[in-house]
Amino acid sequence: MRLDNAECAYSVEFMCRKLGVSKSGYYDWRNRLDSATAQRREELRLLIKKAFDMSDGT
């Protein structure tokens, strides 16, 4: 979950304090690239979606 989107009612500072994490740690995590596993899962998700979209005659 991103803390900096319009849907969030609390500041990053408030949420980090409540969760016991540093703001710098949050920003490091937010800017981190997806892991190889996350990238592969996204590739598989797209392949599965494509396979099911093709099977319904479109």
pLDDT tier at 7, thresholds 50, 70, 90: low
CA 11 to each of CA 7, 8, 43, 56: distance values in angstroms, whole numbers, following the listed order: 11, 8, 33, 45
Instruction: Give the count of beta carbons closer than 10 Å to the beta carbon of residue 15.
Output: 16
pLDDT tens digits for range 17-46:
999 999 999 999 999 999 999 999 999 999
Does pTM top 0.85 for this prediction? no
